[in-house]
Amino acid sequence: MENILKGKKGLIMGLSNATGMGYYILENAIAQGAEVAVSYTGEAMGKRAIPLAQDAGAALIYDCDVTNQEQMEGLFEEVKKEFGKIDFIVHAIAYSDKSELKGKYLNTTEANFLNTMNISCYSFTKAAQVAEKMDVLNDGASLLTLSYLGGERFVTNYNVMGVAKAALEASIKYLAVDLGDRGIRVNSISAGPIKTLAASGIGEFKKMLTYNEANSPLVKNVTADEVGKSALYLLSDLSTGVTAENLHVDAGFHAIAANKMD
């Protein structure tokens, strides 16, 4: 099936680099006919994100700090000027001090806890709030964010980010109810471990990749492109009956409770 997003317009928040899931969602969305605006955060990130967005064919590229209300409103103002109303928002944003993504969660500082929750979780709710307030979303639109199994279970060296992802997955359910009367769907993708810039902050990440590959039902690690393709389903009209869902794109690893035995 081709051009399943033809005629759709959307925003992808949090473009960072060519290995990130946001970039692969962008590529796949444009390849399937969507017109897409992109946001990134800060000058340093922009040096990588702007050329990527331009090469992919993004219609609008905007610097937005999601902790800044004025910048968030400015982003959606520009999106509305460019597109009018839009059909999807992808939230590909997460951050925590990597020095606290090791050792014990018990030692999490209050400052990093609040900052992690604000950027990694609340910014998704804030995006929905601002979009609703400014009347940017079409009825039947799709909101999508990115999670990880560490929000459901303990994962070594994930710590406060796991707590933030758990809160993010709960937020999806509540937003799905709040926006459901307009046919707006709210979902997340829980991707398996992928070698991205964000993942580089997780201690012993290579061991995690090796373990997941050996123990997932498909005996492999997923790619960012596979996540991008799965996102197409949740952004398109193929999933009009799906909301409040956390779709695992992890080669089935989430279903495994113990190592496979020879």
Q: Kindly tell me if the per-residue pLDDT of 206 is higher than 60.
A: yes
pLDDT in tens, 155-173: 988 999 999 999 999 999 9
Q: Kindly tell me if the per-residue pLDDT of 260 is higher than 90.
A: no
Average pLDDT, the chain: 94
Name which of 123-127, 211-215, 234-238 the model is least confident about.
Answer: 211-215
Domain ranges of the chain: 9-251
148 annotated active-site: yes
Domain 9-251 has CATH 3.40.50.720: yes
**3-state DSSP assignment of residue 159:** helix
Q: Kindly tell me if the per-residue pLDDT of 236 is higher than 70.
A: yes
Residue 207, pLDDT score? 84
Long-range contacts at 50-58 (CB < 8 A, ≥ 24 apart): 52/15, 52/17, 52/18, 52/23, 52/26, 53/15, 53/26, 56/23, 56/26, 56/27, 56/30, 57/30, 58/26, 58/30
Question: Which of the residues 24, 40, 62, 158 is marked catalytic?
Answer: 158
0.85 exceeded by pTM: yes
Give the separation between CA 257 and CA 174, rounded to whole angstroms: 29
Give the separation between CA 190 and CA 248, rounded to whole angstroms: 5
Residue 194, pLDDT score? 86
24 annotated active-site: no
Name which of 8-12, 29-33, 175-179, 203-207 the model is least confident about.
Answer: 203-207
Helices 224-235 & 21-31 angle (0-180, nearest 10): 50
Question: Which of the residues 40, 95, 122, 148 is marked catalytic?
Answer: 148
Q: Kindly tell me if the per-residue pLDDT of 199 is higher than 90.
A: no
pLDDT in tens, 26-84: 999 999 999 999 999 999 999 999 999 999 999 999 999 999 999 999 999 999 999 99
